[in-house]
Chains A and B, each alone.
Chain A
Amino acid sequence: MALLGRAILILGLITAVYGVGASLYGARTRDDDWVDSGRRAVYALFSLALIAFVILEVAFIRNDFAYNVVSEHSSTTTPLFYKLAAPWSSQEGSLLLWVFLLSGWSSLALFLTRKRMRAIAPYATAVLLGFGAFFTMLMVFYANPFATTANPPAQGAGLDPLLLHSSMMIHPPMLYSGYTLMAIPFSFAIGALITRSVGSEWLRISRRFALAAWLFLGVGILLGARWSYTELGWGGYWAWDAVENAALMPWLACTAFIHSIMIQEKRGMLKVWNVSLVLLCGLLSVFGTFLVRSGVLDSIHAFGASTLGVPFVILLGVMLAGGIYLVSTRRDALRSESQIDSLISREAIFLFQNLVLVAMVFVIFWVTVFPLVSQALTGTKVSVGPPAFKPFIVPLALILVLLSGIGPIIAWRRVTVANLRRNFTFPIGVALAVLVWLLVGTNADTKPLALLMFMLGAFVLASVAQEMYRGTSARRAFAKEIWPVAFVSLVRRNRRRYGGYTAHAGLAVLLIGVAASSSFQHQREVTMKPGQSARVDGYTIKYVRPTAVATAAKVSFGAVLAVYHNGSHVTTLRTTRGFYPAGFNGSAGPISEAFVGNADSNVGLQAGLTRDIWTIVDPNLTPLQPAITRGDSVFEGLMRKLTPAQARNPQVQQSLGVLQARAIVGLTDQYIRHPWSVEFLLIVSPLVTWLWIGALITAFGGLIALWPIPALARRRSLAPYAARLARELASR
């Protein structure tokens, strides 16, 4: 089956290359048949990728360790759910996932648009198949998912325990869906530029796919942050790690695009800007994939195989050069149809927002690649840490929030003092009220930037609430519905607007959570013995007793902690650190080997609406080391005394196994009965939960905006306007 898989990939490569040729030929000769054939090549590529994926999944399910990827990333003890997700924890499998998702989303996109944009579609098909061919080529020549070994091991290495978390398994498909969905508007933009058709139809379709990409990518980023917070032992959700930045940049650029597109729709302006933005989104998506796949930058995702670096750089170069060439030679088709009337108008706000977002992308890009740039220039990798570039990001984020509050309540084209007064009084009032409350009731004034974010967040929420209230009243005045019904029909008829407002509200909530949890966090590293306690931000956290459990899969040492506030018991937390047996390190002794493999932490977390209490323990195994070493030498001595025949005897092996297990249980007993002091990291973080809530609200807003209106309903809602205009037309 492995050969079949490899053959399928080669067929995929051939199909993709054929499709590129067919689409381009059909485009040049305006022959629909060739264009259709090219589109079918995309569907075919998807089918082939699906078959290859199934073959790989079956290998994982069947524990076929002849496949290198299976033996390196799975084991017989891995649960089924994680076995199914394990393929994409490997370099090769993740490339296959990329091709699968790219061809899948492309098939959907091309199918939905098969009767529209027939001038552009062939070029878009060619570009999408070009991407498909590239990634398939990587698998065929550099990183074969179906590589096998002649001597399959009896057991696999298993999945890294850090990945045994459900959100970690959904995170890559979501992220890759975001990246591959970005390729679609990119391709259509290339096609639009080549054929000089940068018009309303192109805008309409690009907007929808960009929004879908934005949604998936955002959810992927959110899942990664959530995993980091609940799984990793550092207590944070965002580390400005290179791969985190790699996903954030295209998301920011896409956010800019879905806003600036509205200006082109309404005023025919910013055409060069828009098309450049969408090309940038595609470029950053491929760049993001490159950063994660090539290991060229230091990050916790360091997938080796730097041989992938060179092809990616070539692809990025081609995309960049092609984009620049097309935009500069098609400048005449991208001329603006009007000007900005006033600097105080919705267009201007959108423009500022775009500039802020692009500035953020630039800052993040710069600090992410600076180590490479400096290495190229001076020979030394210089790294710019978060403390250095936060002074850039934080003000930009504050401005962004402010703009997201102003945008919905300001008018298009031109604004007067009167309507400024009408629209801004309530939100500004709320913001000031919140400011006063915070200054008086809390210690927020100690952190002015966070205070500013709280105020601006309140401003945004108030402006969104005002809009929703006024919109519903307007609808009620017209349709005589009760409040809830009026609200729902308002949103249904104006999905873009109210979906967008919801997303703004979600963003405000999210950033309030970020500001609170980063500025007002209380963190303590403390060493405690059972019975001792520590104070963190008004909470008393007591180390009640140690825990230790040994199983065949892992040995965990942990602690039970009781949390008190003002004397009353708040919660009991359990945190453990698990030690997995060494898979690959063959030199450890029979007892040591239980402890020298991977380790993971189980966070003791209580999430609440006002604050999170986050605890983790680092059980110091040094006091056990003498016993472990003694156990090693005892066992090694024992095994040296066996004859080869005895060593092979399964009963002897079983007895040895039992003895080993008993020894380890003895060690865990030691930990419980004669505990020593261990190190704890205790964090009390306010409003973290609102971060997740805000993110969900933002995603929900995106979903509302994206949700397709059935064509009939759209025609019905626009019909009154059509009728009125028809009458006007007739009367002229």
Chain B
Amino acid sequence: MTEFLIVLLVLAALAVFVTGPLRRQRNSGVADPEGALTAERDVQDLEAARDAKYREIRDAELDHGTGKLSDADWRDLDRTLRAEAIEVLKALDRATAELRRRREEVQALTELSEFAAEPAEPAEPAAARANAEQLPSQPR
């Protein structure tokens, strides 16, 4: 009997824990739009690529210091790597901007849907507020 109760207890705890994220009060209905996840992935990739490039530049310096690269070779390599790094930084800037844009998009959509989901109030104050607040060009 006790075993059965323990199993039920565990099952309940399990269900509560695992479905926790699903029961969150959030912008239900507004899932992450298509591009935000990709944009985030691009940013993370470029950040990793940037760090890898820095590491490469530092490694080349160490290779030069330990005699595996002659002065001339190292200067060449260093210049090439820096140019590549600059490209990565530029791409990263663009990607970060893109990500910020998409995140603002998501934020705006969220706020809009939350606003739309608010419980209905008596028509007059709502109309009055709408009048007073924002959208003067909104057709009645």
A binds B: yes
Quick check: is B17 within 8 A (CB to CB) of the other chain? yes
Bound form: Cα–Cα A48–B11 in Å: 10
| Closest A residue by C-beta to B72 | A416
Bound form: Cα–Cα A494–B63 in Å: 12
- Verify B62–A471 contact, CB threshold 8 A: yes
**Interface 1/0 per residue, A252-295 and B, CB below 8 Å:** 00000000000001100000000000000000000000000000
Bound form: Cα–Cα A725–B81 in Å: 11
- Verify B18–A117 contact, CB threshold 8 A: no
Quick check: is A658 within 8 A (CB to CB) of the other chain? no
- Looking at the assembled complex, report how far the CB atom of A8 sits from the nearest CB atom of chain B, in whole angstroms: 7
* Residues of chain B within 8 A of A118, CB atoms compared: 37, 40-41
- Verify B66–A199 contact, CB threshold 8 A: no
Whether A30 contacts B18 in the complex (CB less than 8 A), given A8-B10, A419-B70, comes out as no
- Looking at the assembled complex, report how far the CB atom of B51 sits from the nearest CB atom of chain A, in whole angstroms: 7
Quick check: is A18 within 8 A (CB to CB) of the other chain? yes
**Interface 1/0 per residue, B20-32 and A, CB below 8 Å:** 1110101000011
Whether A117 contacts B44 in the complex (CB less than 8 A), given A4-B6, A411-B63, A474-B65, comes out as yes
- Verify B63–A412 contact, CB threshold 8 A: yes
- Verify A411–B21 contact, CB threshold 8 A: no
Quick check: is B133 within 8 A (CB to CB) of the other chain? no
Which residues B36-73 have CB closer than 8 A to chain A? 37-38, 40-41, 44-49, 51-52, 54-60, 62-63, 65-70, 73
- Verify B18–A32 contact, CB threshold 8 A: no
- Verify B48–A470 contact, CB threshold 8 A: no
* Residues of chain A within 8 A of B17, CB atoms compared: 40, 43-44
- Looking at the assembled complex, report how far the CB atom of A715 sits from the nearest CB atom of chain B, in whole angstroms: 9
Whether A37 contacts B49 in the complex (CB less than 8 A), given A3-B3, A470-B67, A722-B54, comes out as no
Interface with A: B82-90, B97-105, B107-115, B119-127, which one?
A: B82-90
- Verify B3–A199 contact, CB threshold 8 A: no
Quick check: is B34 within 8 A (CB to CB) of the other chain? yes
Whether A37 contacts B7 in the complex (CB less than 8 A), given A422-B67, A471-B62, comes out as no
* Residues of chain B within 8 A of A44, CB atoms compared: 14, 17-18
* Residues of chain A within 8 A of B137, CB atoms compared: none
Quick check: is A204 within 8 A (CB to CB) of the other chain? yes
Quick check: is A197 within 8 A (CB to CB) of the other chain? yes
| Closest A residue by C-beta to B69 | A411
Bound form: Cα–Cα A471–B64 in Å: 10
**Interface 1/0 per residue, A3-25 and B, CB below 8 Å:** 11001100100010011001000
Quick check: is A645 within 8 A (CB to CB) of the other chain? no
- Looking at the assembled complex, report how far the CB atom of A667 sits from the nearest CB atom of chain B, in whole angstroms: 50
* Residues of chain B within 8 A of A197, CB atoms compared: 41, 45
- Verify B48–A200 contact, CB threshold 8 A: yes
* Residues of chain A within 8 A of B82, CB atoms compared: 725, 728
- Looking at the assembled complex, report how far the CB atom of B27 sits from the nearest CB atom of chain A, in whole angstroms: 10
Quick check: is B134 within 8 A (CB to CB) of the other chain? no
Q: Give the interface centre of A7, A8, A120, A411 by most chain B CB atoms within 10 Å.
A: A411
Bound form: Cα–Cα A32–B36 in Å: 12
Quick check: is B138 within 8 A (CB to CB) of the other chain? no
Bound form: Cα–Cα A37–B22 in Å: 7
- Verify B66–A11 contact, CB threshold 8 A: no
Of B11, B24, B60, which is within 8 A of A33 by CB? B24
Quick check: is A29 within 8 A (CB to CB) of the other chain? yes
Bound form: Cα–Cα A678–B17 in Å: 66
- Verify B68–A203 contact, CB threshold 8 A: no
Quick check: is A690 within 8 A (CB to CB) of the other chain? no
| Closest B residue by C-beta to A5 | B3
Bound form: Cα–Cα A37–B26 in Å: 15
- Verify A18–B18 contact, CB threshold 8 A: yes
**Interface 1/0 per residue, A604-623 and B, CB below 8 Å:** 00000000000000000000
- Verify A474–B66 contact, CB threshold 8 A: yes
Which residues A464-505 have CB closer than 8 A to chain B? 467, 470-471, 473-475, 477-478, 494, 497
Bound form: Cα–Cα A478–B34 in Å: 49
* Residues of chain B within 8 A of A32, CB atoms compared: 21, 31-32
Of A116, A195, A714, A717, which is within 8 A of B44 by CB? A116
* Residues of chain A within 8 A of B38, CB atoms compared: 119
Bound form: Cα–Cα A204–B47 in Å: 11
- Verify B24–A419 contact, CB threshold 8 A: no
Bound form: Cα–Cα A627–B49 in Å: 79
| Closest B residue by C-beta to A205 | B48
- Looking at the assembled complex, report how far the CB atom of B66 sits from the nearest CB atom of chain A, in whole angstroms: 4
| Closest A residue by C-beta to B8 | A7
Of A119, A416, A467, which is within 8 A of B73 by CB? A416
- Verify B7–A11 contact, CB threshold 8 A: yes
- Verify B86–A732 contact, CB threshold 8 A: yes
Quick check: is A383 within 8 A (CB to CB) of the other chain? no
Whether A494 contacts B31 in the complex (CB less than 8 A), given A200-B45, A203-B48, A419-B70, comes out as no
Whether A199 contacts B32 in the complex (CB less than 8 A), given A37-B19, A419-B68, comes out as no
Which residues A196-230 have CB closer than 8 A to chain B? 197, 199-204
Bound form: Cα–Cα A44–B34 in Å: 30
* Residues of chain B within 8 A of A15, CB atoms compared: 14, 18
**Interface 1/0 per residue, A31-65 and B, CB below 8 Å:** 11110110011011000100100000000000000
Whether A204 contacts B67 in the complex (CB less than 8 A), given A8-B10, A37-B22, A40-B17, comes out as no
Quick check: is A423 within 8 A (CB to CB) of the other chain? yes
Of B14, B58, B65, which is within 8 A of A470 by CB? B65
- 11 extra interchain contacts, Cβ-Cβ under 8 A, other than A11-B14, A37-B20, A497-B59? A11-B11, A15-B18, A19-B18, A40-B17, A119-B40, A195-B41, A200-B49, A201-B48, A470-B65, A474-B65, A729-B89
Write 26 A-B pairs (CB below 8 A) sorted by A numbering.
A31-B31, A32-B21, A34-B21, A37-B18, A44-B17, A44-B18, A118-B37, A119-B38, A195-B41, A199-B45, A200-B52, A201-B44, A265-B52, A266-B52, A266-B56, A409-B68, A412-B60, A412-B77, A416-B70, A419-B68, A419-B73, A423-B68, A471-B65, A477-B65, A721-B85, A728-B82
- In the A-B complex, the 4 residue pairs with the smallest Cβ-Cβ separation, listed nearest first, are A474-B65, A36-B21, A200-B48, A470-B66
